[in-house]
Amino acid sequence: MHSFPEPALALVERMTAAAAADPSRAIAIQGAPGCNSHRAALEFAPDCLPLPCFSFEDALDSVRDGLADRAMIPIENSQHGRVADIHFLLPESGLAIVGEHFLAIEHALMAIGAGPFTAAYSHPQALGQSRHYLRARGIVPMSYADTAGAAAFVREQGDPGACAIAPKLAAQLYDLTIIEENVEDAADNTTRFVALAREPLAPGALAGAIAMTTFIFEVKNVPAALYKALGGFATNGVNMTKLESYQQGASFAATGFFADVEGAPGDAPFDRAMEELAFHCKDVKLLGSYRQARPRG
């Protein structure tokens, strides 16, 4: 808690106390009050109690330790790619993905005064999503742990030459002036979040719904192993909507893959495709099946 800037601490303390009184409604988020994860949690579950955590690990630990029922974690952005190292964080957490949410990102430039500004503080993702805007104005991007925390930091420092890029909600919470809205470089800027819980959804919870399943896998180190492993999805008509590789260890010899597909255990085409995948893999780990929040394709 005390890693947050002083202007955010009172809010964090109140929200933490509210979550502690009713953990079943608590959703752990990474960032100070007013961040995009805060917005995503309220859109996903309007009656929830957001629990601010300083890091992704803290948010996941809060769920695992029973301080929150779920966590809302950003995993990818339409403009800037991967947000969190989910390939490592999710398997280590022992939690399961139980939902997804797509959040339209609208960044605002905010400060204690009207400028001119020499530095803009925000999360690296927000800075990357606004890099053309900042470069055109000669404002130096300065990385911070999260967007709303950056807004609280600007309020705490009181530097008239500093500004923050954060959701409009942060300006309200930390008494900053919004200099300009919608400073993101792309109007369709969107971040995908996943909801994580201690237990996976029961198979019956997905009855009648279009389901997604997320998993990681490592193929055997033989020629054409990946081609053969993925063939089962094509032959069984299972749509793979995401496939991303990542290195495991320092040898650069073991490559892992992170994938999303349409379908869930109990669907015959999905089960056949996963059986074929497992035959060609050293390891396969399901991270969760959940309702599709947005049609793919």
Enzyme catalytic residues:
191, 193
* Ramachandran assignment for 40, one of left (phi > 0), alpha (psi -120 to 50 degrees), beta (any other): alpha
What distance, in Å, lies between the first and last C-alpha atoms of the chain? 41
Residue 213 main-chain phi, psi, to 5 deg: -130, 135
> Which residue in the block uniquely carries the two structure tokens 């396969």?
284
Contact 167, 31 (CB under 8 A): no
Sort 113 into a burial class: Cβ within 10 Å, 0-12 / 13-18 / 19+: middle
Q: How far apart are CA 75 and CA 273, in angstroms?
A: 25
CB atoms within 10 A of CB 51: 28
Q: How far apart are CA 84 and CA 272, in angstroms?
A: 31
> Which residue in the block uniquely carries the two structure tokens 């967007």?
147
What is the separation of C-alpha 243 from the centre of its chain, rounded to a whole number of angstroms? Answer: 17
CA angle 128, 132, 138 (to 5 degrees): 105
Contact 173, 132 (CB under 8 A): no
Beta-bridge partners for 164: 110, 121
Q: 19 to each of 26, 27, 53, 67, 109, how far by Cα in Å?
A: 5, 8, 12, 7, 30
